[in-house]
């Protein structure tokens, strides 16, 4: 039997992060109450994986969206580095101008009619997912004193049951905005932050067409990808 290795606290964002002003207004002041998981949470409702079309992993309208075309691909693993097949991975992001296709984004920046804004994919038998998208632009956070979020892609990972969902954000290597971003920096441990940064990967890219980035996701244990469950959200 493999011993479960929990993560150290500094590798996950704090619920109330000093650097991210909104968390002081939103974070619970009382400790979490752990609800026991019963059979109904574990057994259903389940997502019909067969209802996810491969086309939904293309956010670019067939490559027509403006911006730097890129492939985002990676493997989802558990705490023992076992690949997890059949996991639903959802991605959403701003377009190349840093504008979300969402009514809450009221900024005066152009929408791209060819950019879908979000997509989803189911991991294959080796736990791998893959999206065709564009590199998102940075965007300013309203009422924040000119804080701009670095380019990032939001990712949600659903387990086999509706109750098991984890959410994280992927960042780009070398972006100077990363280290002044209140959400990225809300993870205290530098090694853990590095697990939020994608790696350029030529084996993932499409020749003379799309840049490739690799981003593996670990759901539990010491190597866990920092997640937003209870911590700062975007």
| Whether residue 129 lies in the annotated active site | no
Binding of Fe ion by 180 (CB under 5 A): no
Which phi-psi region, left, alpha or beta, contains residue 125 (left: φ > 0; alpha: ψ -120 to 50)?
Answer: alpha
Helix (H) or strand (E) holding 24: helix 21-26
Q: Which is nearer to Fe ion, 57 or 183 (CB)?
A: 183
CB of 59 to Fe ion, least distance (A): 14
Here the tokens at position 173 are 């290597």
Q: Which is nearer to Fe ion, 5 or 234 (CB)?
A: 234
Which one from 77, 120, 154, 193 is the annotated catalytic residue?
154
| Whether residue 22 lies in the annotated active site | no
Binding of Fe ion by 234 (CB under 5 A): yes
User: Considering only 52-60, 102-110, 196-204, 226-234, which stretch makes contact with Fe ion by CB under 5 A?
Assistant: 226-234
Burial annotation 112-123 (CB, 10 A radius, 16+ → b, else e): bebbbbbbbbbb
Dist. CA 209–CA 181, nearest whole Å: 30
| Whether residue 100 lies in the annotated active site | yes
Binding site for Fe ion (CB under 5 A): 234
The residues annotated as belonging to the active site are 100, 139, 149, 152, 154
């Amino acid at each position: 039997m493999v011993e479960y290795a929990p993560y150290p606290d500094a590798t996950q964002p704090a619920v109330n992060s000093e650097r991210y002003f909104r968390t002081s207004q939103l974070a619970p002041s009382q400790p979490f109450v752990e609800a026991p998981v019963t059979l109904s949470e574990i057994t259903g409702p389940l997502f019909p994986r067969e209802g996810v079309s491969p086309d939904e992993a293309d956010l670019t309208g067939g490559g027509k969206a403006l911006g730097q075309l890129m492939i985002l691909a990676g493997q989802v693993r558990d705490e023992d580095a076992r690949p997890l097949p059949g996991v639903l991975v959802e991605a959403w992001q701003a377009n190349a101008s840093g504008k979300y296709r969402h009514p809450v984004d009221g900024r005066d920046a152009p929408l791209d009619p060819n950019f879908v804004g979000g997509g989803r994919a189911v991991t294959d038998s080796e736990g791998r997912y893959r999206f065709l998208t564009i590199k998102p632009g940075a965007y300013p956070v309203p009422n924040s004193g000119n804080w701009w979020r670095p380019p990032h892609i939001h990712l949600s990972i659903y387990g086999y049951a509706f109750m098991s969902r984890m959410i994280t954000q992927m960042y780009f290597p070398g972006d100077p905005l990363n280290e002044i971003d209140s959400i990225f920096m809300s993870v205290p441990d530098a090694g853990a932050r590095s697990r939020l940064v994608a790696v350029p990967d030529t084996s993932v890219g499409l020749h003379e067409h799309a840049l490739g980035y690799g981003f593996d996701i670990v759901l539990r244990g010491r190597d866990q990808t920092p997640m937003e469950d209870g911590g700062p959200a975007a």
